[in-house]
Amino acid sequence: MKNFIILVALATFSITNSFGQTKDKKELLYSNKFSLLFGTIQPTALKGFNVEVNYTTKRMIFDYSHGVSLDPPTVGDFKTQKVALHLPLSTGFGIGYRFTSFFDVRFEPKLHSWEVYNEGEVQNENTKIKDFKTFTLGIGVYYRYMPFKNSDNKLLQGITTSTSIRYWQNVGTTLRNDEFSYLNKNTNKTETLKAPNIGIANSPIIFNIAIGYTFGGK
């Protein structure tokens, strides 16, 4: 964990340092523009919703993303103990460096709110086993594809897709010792679960494809 935080700090310094050295570089396409994007993985695989707002400068990119009502598949101990996970929200921001008009790398701190229920039960305050939050720091690699960037029609130039691979490492939780114990209805025993990761199969790795629009043309 300590080595990962050092790596993130070095990446952040590299991005900031790069920003300070870009005054004389040629302006990239889609600079000084806002984009509005919607994730496709959240509604198709997680039964939820995600919206992302980007702003690009000559070489930097800033974003804010907000996911709601996400239901990640359970694996490992969560599946064995027959519990379901629900995220009312997963939110945070990113700051990155644009290496090309379409490729950038971002530093991303995020907050994730979790709820745990018995599998198959109606999810409400009376059936909730536990709620808690996790905090992640990570790096995201993004490639934006603009299928109509060469069009003479400025409206078409703004159609945007964004493919991303991110590594979001847990760096803290609101749980004591990053775990909790509860009475499992299925086993009638006290079971323990560790704070989950936000990514694929309880890992820190996230993949997504977002679709949206960049305003103002290229």
pLDDT of 26 reads 75
Q: Is the pLDDT of residue 24 over 80?
A: no
Contacting residues for 64 by C-beta, under 8 A, at least 6 apart? 52, 53, 91, 92, 93, 94
Q: Is the pLDDT of residue 37 over 80?
A: yes
What mean pLDDT is predicted for residues 102-115? Answer: 98
Dihedral of alpha carbons 109, 3, 163, 146, sign = positive
pLDDT of 92 reads 98
SS3 label, residue 14: helix
Give me the domains of the chain, ranges plus CATH numbers: 2-214 (2.40.160.20)
- Per residue in 41-70, pLDDT tens? 999 999 999 999 999 999 999 999 999 999
Residue type present at position 120: G
Q: Is the pLDDT of residue 7 over 60?
A: no
- Per residue in 90-108, pLDDT tens? 999 999 999 999 999 999 9
SS3 label, residue 156: helix
Contacting residues for 38 by C-beta, under 8 A, at least 6 apart? 49, 50, 51, 52, 210, 211, 212
59: which DSSP letter?
S
Q: Is the pLDDT of residue 9 over 90?
A: no
Alpha helical stretches, state H, the chain: 2-20, 41-45, 76-80, 154-157
